[in-house]
């Protein structure tokens, strides 16, 4: 699978980007977004989940375990320390301040994160935050969304989605949320 990353700007590619169209060959790995959000697209409140839903956390683990997860620095920092890095996953953190941790891969750009993810040859799951979701939305093959039933206050939002680009391929109702898996519609010629 080859992804055209032409839309990314110099800030997103990092130093040295000259505006030339870039492509990253990912081989087989698919890029999926995993998110829980309210009807108002709330995904966070002051860098924390606004809800505690055990079933949703179990589903997140089931979907992402034994795969690769990509997240921003703030999302990584919001994970309780005892769960950092997320166990049984290849953790990649996009940050302008890479650190050293034996079980976490720090990258300073989306391009570098995708190249690192390709090395693992596993499905890639984007797990936040808001700006990371925004950058990957056009690159994603699938969306795994837990639509939270209750409204929650928050100051962090998922980007606008053009629902015409997506079709529901799986749906399951839980007590506090409705899980839907979406697949990107293919464009017909």
Q: Tell me the average pLDDT across 175-187.
A: 94
End-to-end CA distance of the chain: 19
- Quote the CA–CA distance of 126 and 75 in Å, as a whole number: 11
* pLDDT value for 46: 95
Q: Tell me the average pLDDT across 145-159.
A: 97
Is the pLDDT reported for residue 18 higher than 50?
Answer: no
Secondary structure letter of residue 77 according to DSSP: H
Domain ranges of the chain: 26-184
- Quote the CA–CA distance of 32 and 170 in Å, as a whole number: 14
**Which comes out higher in pLDDT, residue 15 or 47?**
47
Closest to 144 (Cα-Cα) out of 171, 175, 113 = 171
* pLDDT value for 128: 96
Going along 38-103, which residue ranges are E strands? 42-44, 68-72, 90-94
* pLDDT value for 92: 97
pLDDT, tens only, 86-143: 999 999 999 988 777 778 999 999 999 999 999 999 999 999 999 999 999 999 999 9
26-184 CATH fold: Dihydrofolate Reductase, subunit A (3.40.430)
Is the pLDDT reported for residue 10 higher than 70?
Answer: no
pLDDT, tens only, 36-52: 999 999 999 999 999 99
Q: Is 188 helix (H, G, I), strand (E, B) or coil?
A: coil
Q: Which of 5-14, 92-101, 171-180 ranks highest by mean pLDDT? A: 171-180
* pLDDT value for 102: 75
Band the pLDDT of 16: cuts 50, 70, 90: very low
């Amino acid at each position: 699978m080859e992804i055209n990353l032409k839309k990314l700007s110099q800030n997103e590619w990092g130093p040295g980007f000259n505006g030339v169209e870039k492509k990253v060959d990912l081989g087989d790995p698919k890029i999926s977004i995993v998110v829980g959000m309210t009807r108002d697209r709330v995904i966070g409140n002051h860098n924390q989940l606004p809800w505690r839903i055990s079933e949703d956390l179990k589903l997140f683990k089931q979907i992402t375990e034994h795969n690769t997860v990509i997240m921003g620095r703030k999302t990584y920092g919001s994970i309780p320390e005892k769960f950092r890095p997320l166990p049984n996953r290849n953790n990649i953190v996009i940050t302008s301040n890479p650190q050293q941790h034996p079980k976490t891969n720090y990258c300073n750009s989306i391009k570098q994160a995708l190249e690192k993810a390709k090395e693992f040859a596993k499905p890639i799951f984007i797990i936040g935050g808001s700006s990371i979701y925004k950058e990957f939305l056009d690159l994603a093959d699938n969306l795994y969304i837990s639509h939270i039933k209750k409204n929650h206050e928050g100051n962090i939002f998922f980007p606008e989605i053009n629902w015409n680009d997506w079709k529901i391929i799986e749906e399951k109702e839980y007590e506090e949320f409705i899980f839907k898996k979406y697949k990107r519609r293919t464009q017909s010629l």
